[in-house]
Amino acid sequence: MHNHFNGLKTAGLFGVIFAVLLSIGALIGPGYIWIFALLGVAMTAYGYWNSDKIAIKAMKAYPVSEAQAPEMYRIVRELSNTAGKPMPRLYISPTQAPNAFATGRNPQNAAVCCTEGILGLLDERELRGVLGHELMHVYNRDILTSSVAAALAGIIMSVAQMLMWMPFFGGNSEDRPNPLVLIAMAILAPAAAMLIQAAISRTREFDADEDGAKLTGDPLALASALQKLERGVQAAPLAPEPKVVNASHMMIANPFRAQDISKFMSTHPPTAERVARLQGMAGGPNLR
């Protein structure tokens, strides 16, 4: 079990988001919830099955050969062999914003992508720490976790939109819920769903940090990389375009400037907290 109980926290957050969904169902009736749930399952299946294509397209990434990216290939092959997992496909995104992500529905259909910016920013040891983190997202099946969380949040938002119109349509006034309750739920439920979805993403980042550091055997390398990435993102952030925002939870660092997103809505934990945990794994604060 992880020292910070991130798995239990993720399960608890899923319980809360299910509770929000069931509360809406109690207001409007289970029949409507089942309709939206079926749509959500279909959306989840599509997004999960095509997760690698969606993220790679959003970042305009291109596949690279071993001759084009020998360092990436050497590190990823070594770490994959250490983990006893197949080698993922490797991509590079032509942007100077420093970042990396891994995606794919399972280790047999995985892809790892680095931006040109991160390859120019980090040394080999730090890059190894980053790639270990990204591989653990695949091995921990975090794409499935994030896909389910996104689907549940999407169902809640869709039903909440319907709640806005329920006070004006259908049934006798005695049968309809209190209009003020419906309007309050329509406003609060989507906000709660987005907050919980972001919190789930943050717990998975902590897990990938810890497991990736165990895979590489070098938590301080990842800590050093995260500090460089935070400074690098502030100097060269990505624009918060819809496609990039949808893929941002997969990236190792929040790709946007701090002022572009609130602390509670961020899909990434504060860098200082991540670094402190990694330093704790190494037994001290000394960084290169």
Six-digit token string for 41: 């399952």
The Cα–Cα gap between 241 and 221 comes to 31
Q: What does R_g of the chain's alpha carbons equal in angstroms? A: 21
Answer whether 159's CB lies under 8 Å from 32's CB: yes
Residue 43 phi/psi, 5-degree rounding, is: -65, -40
Which residue from 246, 229, 242 is spatially nearest to 129, judged by alpha carbons? Answer: 229
Kind and range of the H or E element at 110? Answer: strand 110-115
Q: Is 134 a catalytic residue?
A: yes
Give the pairing type, strands 110-115 and 89-93: parallel
Determine which one of 134, 205, 210, 230 is catalytic.
Answer: 134
The DSSP secondary structure of 16-76, one letter per residue, reads HHHHHHHHHHHHH-HHHHHHHHHHHHHHHHHHHHTHHHHHHHHTT-EE--TTT-HHHHHHH
**Residues belonging to the active site:** 134
